[in-house]
């Protein structure tokens, strides 16, 4: 119930939303769109934003953030769900900023600031990027980069190991040039 405690962040609602992974588990893009519109209405006042959705793939069961990620284990499935979510979110009047995260890859929570994800370019584009590319195509406002370092080893990658938020290969070459992202990138 209402505690009577209000501040600048409280719009007078206290819904208990199901997690993104719960909605994704329905395999129902229409339900995802409906859920997203309701979230957009909840967050949708000027100068507000949603630090989500989390759209990384579930590659390792011990990743402590899987409950907030909605893509599951399948890049195609994740891309369809995130596309439905972002498009629906943007249909409300004056939608808040929506930030997809964590770009890229963010596979393990423990020690993430000290680890380097070594991955080839084909795996990035075929496995990790499809949900992010779908979000970009659907018009997402912002992308949050991950804590870990990334070493993309093939293709147009030349930067070597660098933290995701400062990695020329994944941010400039892949996200901005190949995927065509025009929004803002923010750090976690």
CA distances to 24, 25, 26, 37, 185 from 32, in Å: 7, 10, 9, 9, 25
CA distances to 1, 2, 10, 121, 166 from 64, in Å: 30, 31, 28, 25, 24
Catalytic residue, candidates 74, 137, 168, 188 = 188
| Number of neighbouring beta carbons within 10 Å of residue 68 | 17
User: Residue 188 catalytic?
Assistant: yes
Token readout for 70 is 């909605």
User: Quick one: how far is CA 66 from the chain centroid?
Assistant: 12
**Interatomic CA distance for residues 185 and 182, integer angstroms:** 9
Q: Which residues pair with 118 in a beta bridge?
A: 151
Q: Taken in order 171, 174, 177, 183, is the CA torsion positive or negative?
A: negative
Q: Taken in order 180, 171, 135, 144, is the CA torsion positive or negative?
A: negative
What are the residue numbers of the active site? 188
């Amino acid at each position: 119930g209402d505690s009577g405690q209000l501040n600048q962040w409280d719009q007078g609602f206290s819904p208990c939303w199901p997690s993104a992974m719960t909605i994704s588990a329905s395999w129902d893009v229409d339900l995802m769109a409906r859920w997203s519109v309701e979230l957009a209405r909840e967050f949708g006042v000027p100068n507000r934003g949603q630090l989500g959705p989390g759209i990384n793939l579930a590659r390792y069961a011990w990743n402590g953030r899987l409950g907030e990620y909605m893509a599951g284990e399948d890049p195609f499935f994740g891309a369809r769900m995130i596309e439905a979510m972002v498009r629906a979110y943007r249909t409300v009047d004056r939608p808040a900023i929506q930030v997809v995260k964590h770009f890229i890859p963010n596979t393990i929570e423990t020690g993430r600031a000290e680890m380097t994800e070594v991955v080839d370019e084909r795996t990035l584009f075929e496995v990790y990027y499809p949900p992010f590319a779908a979000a970009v195509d659907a018009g997402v406002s912002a992308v949050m980069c991950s804590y870990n370092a990334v070493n993309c080893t093939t293709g147009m990658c030349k930067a070597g190991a660098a933290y995701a938020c400062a990695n020329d290969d994944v941010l400039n070459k892949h996200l901005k040039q190949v995927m065509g992202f025009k929004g803002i990138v923010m750090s976690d």
